[in-house]
Amino acid sequence: MPPRGWYGAGGGRVGYLDPPTMWRATTVQACGMWPFAAGSGSPMTGVPLGQHLFTGATVCGDPLNWFTRARYISNPSLFMLGMPGLGKSTLVNRMLIGLSATGVVPLVLGDLKPDYADTVRALGGQVISIGRGRGGINVLDPGAMGAAAARIGGEAGEVLKAETHGRVLNMVAALITIVRGRPMDDHEQSVLSAVLHHLRERTPPGRTVLLPDVLRVLTEGPDRVRAVTLDRGDDARYRDAVDPLHRSLLGILDGPLGDTFASETSTRIDPSAPAVCIDISGIGEADTQLTAAAMLAAWSDGLGTVAASHALADAGLEPRRWFFTVLDELWRPLRAASGIVDRIDALTRLNRSLGLGDAKITHTLKDAEALGTDSDRAKARGFVERAGMVVCAGLPKAEMEDLGKVVGLSRREIELVSSWSSPPGWGAAGEHEEPPGRGRFLIKVGGRPGIPIQVAITDAERRLHNTNTRWTPNEAAVERAVEQELAQTAAQVARAAQEGAYATPGGPGGPGGPGGPGAAGRWTA
């Protein structure tokens, strides 16, 4: 270009040139562009998450790939914190889609909003609805583990049967903990275990044991059950030993949990499904007991499916599969009852040996501080300490400083994430402005510097994942309502005309007169 600009109309000096488009690719893909290349220190192993906030480089990552391939972390787990509405579940949804494309099976064990049901359907997976009038889970059903034990047979099958018994016992104990608000006594667990063994031995093949069967056995008092109560032949001693357990089981069946857990499982998890979502969004926000019970039952059933899959793979009957579990809105089950945190704590310690990665999502560390006992609070804080990846969306500065004591955040990182918690600006003309922190996250791994990223979702992701659907106007429904009202008005006018109500046009009963349908009809349209 000449120094004074192009010759001709519209020529002259150019004060500003648009920057050229930047393309990102590997040196293999863009080797012809050399030497116009710049290296990137961002991790490139795993699901593509977004761009580095400062360099624009692509950032990839997820708990499974960073554990198995890159070996950046020693525990395939992710803990995410952030204020509502900043995109936490959107980022996890992207991980879910990317991992599914590599053969990993996503398991959303308790979708509360729902945030993931549409994504699982789009992946060809299975969506199971749980709630009053929607579907239930029989906590005594051995499920996939029972089927796998029968298929494997031999000593390995017996070992899996014993594990199935322990899982069922723990699930019933969890329901009783929720109803009571405190854990079961040790002798009650022994009684319950004896009852389950008695039922398993005497239930004919093809029939599933239900909670009412447990009550029946407690009432009958067979010798095997009486032996663990130390009743010594005294019926009064036996009743004193089993009555508290009996009352708690009645509280489950006749209380807020009965409709969901007292009958057969409505839909069993398909072990061969490419993805599974257990949708509990039909349970009300205030129904904390049923929410916690449904989430625990979903986790028990889902993790039983994982154990069955690995047992079949160990026996050479099925290919090895990896799993990715999502535990969203973690604060809700934690607050339901004392002792629930123990069961989640056990999961976080064993997921490496179970062949699954997990993502736990909550709002702030104060969710753990709201628990009832010091022991539960310490265990809940341990979720963050043991997580291989910690991802932060926008959080207040005080919350970030508390998190920095656990994770190890620099002053610059605290200031950066705190700035993302600011509200959006005031729109001058009513235009929509997003919060400054939406789609921005800081990924922390051990003592490494944090990786700030910006996530931009695609149109397909936007259609599948919208947590504000209840705030979105239903334009089609509005149009249908207007059309129906116009049709009703037209029908009324036609009927009135047939009845001779318009004999005096412009009069009191006429279309243009006061009280006439014509005047109201103009405003209706």
**What's the rounded Cα separation, in Å, for the pair 391 and 416?**
13
Query: What is the phi/psi pair of residue 325, to 5°?
Result: -95, 145
Per-residue confidence band for 30, with pLDDT thresholds at 50, 70 and 90: confident
CA distances from 143 to 113, 138, 171, 173, 437 (A): 26, 9, 13, 18, 43
As a dihedral over the C-alpha atoms of residue 124, residue 130, residue 132, residue 135, rounded to 10 degrees, the angle is 70
Point out the least confidently predicted range of 48-57, 301-310, 509-518: 509-518
Query: What is the phi/psi pair of residue 392, to 5°?
Result: -115, 125
The answer to whether the beta carbons of residues 145 and 163 sit under 8 Å apart is: yes
The answer to whether the beta carbons of residues 55 and 42 sit under 8 Å apart is: yes
pLDDT tens for residues 154-182? 999 998 888 888 888 888 888 888 888 77
Q: Could you tell me the two tokens for 279?
A: 């949708």
Which bin fits 331, alpha (ψ -120 to 50), beta or left (φ > 0)? alpha
Grouping H, G, I as helix, E, B as strand and the rest as coil, residue 228 is helix
Neighbours of 240 (CB within 10 A): 12
Angle separating helix axes 397-407 and 374-386, nearest 10 degrees: 80
Per-residue confidence band for 95, with pLDDT thresholds at 50, 70 and 90: very high
pLDDT tens for residues 108-163? 988 888 889 999 999 999 999 988 888 888 889 888 888 999 999 999 999 888 88
CA distances from 263 to 66, 138, 382 (A): 42, 6, 36
**What's the rounded Cα separation, in Å, for the pair 348 and 363?**
18
One-letter amino acid identity for 421? S
The whole-model pTM stands at: 0.76
CA distances from 207 to 140, 141, 259, 335 (A): 11, 10, 20, 36
Q: Is the pLDDT of residue 520 over 70?
A: no
The answer to whether the beta carbons of residues 290 and 134 sit under 8 Å apart is: no
Which residues, in sequence order, are bridge partners of residue 391? 80, 443
**What's the rounded Cα separation, in Å, for the pair 23 and 448?**
28
Return the percentage of the chain with pLDDT > 70, whole number. Answer: 78
Question: In Å, how far from its chain's centre is CA 263?
Answer: 25
Q: Classify residue 201 by burial, with Cβ atoms within 10 Å: 0-12, 13-18, 19+.
A: exposed
pLDDT tens for residues 190-248? 999 999 999 988 888 878 889 899 999 999 999 999 999 988 889 899 999 999 999 99
pLDDT tens for residues 453-508? 999 888 888 888 666 555 555 556 656 766 777 777 777 777 776 766 444 444 44
Identify the CA nearest to 195 among candidates 164, 226, 167.
226
Q: Could you tell me the two tokens for 85?
A: 């509405």
| Preceding omega of 35 cis (within 30 degrees of 0) | yes
What pLDDT, on the 0 to 100 scale, is given for residue 507?
A: 44
Per-residue confidence band for 389, with pLDDT thresholds at 50, 70 and 90: very high
> What is the secondary structure of 159-227 as a DSSP string?
HHHHHHHHHHHHHHHHHHHHHHSSPPPHHHHHHHHHHHHHHHHHSPTT----HHHHHHHHHH--HHHHH
What pLDDT, on the 0 to 100 scale, is given for residue 276?
A: 95
Q: Is the pLDDT of residue 27 over 80?
A: no
What pLDDT, on the 0 to 100 scale, is given for residue 324?
A: 93
pLDDT tens for residues 330-361? 766 666 555 567 666 665 555 556 778 889 88
Query: What is the phi/psi pair of residue 324, to 5°?
Result: -135, 110
What pLDDT, on the 0 to 100 scale, is given for residue 340?
A: 63
End-to-end CA distance of the chain: 61
The answer to whether the beta carbons of residues 388 and 445 sit under 8 Å apart is: yes
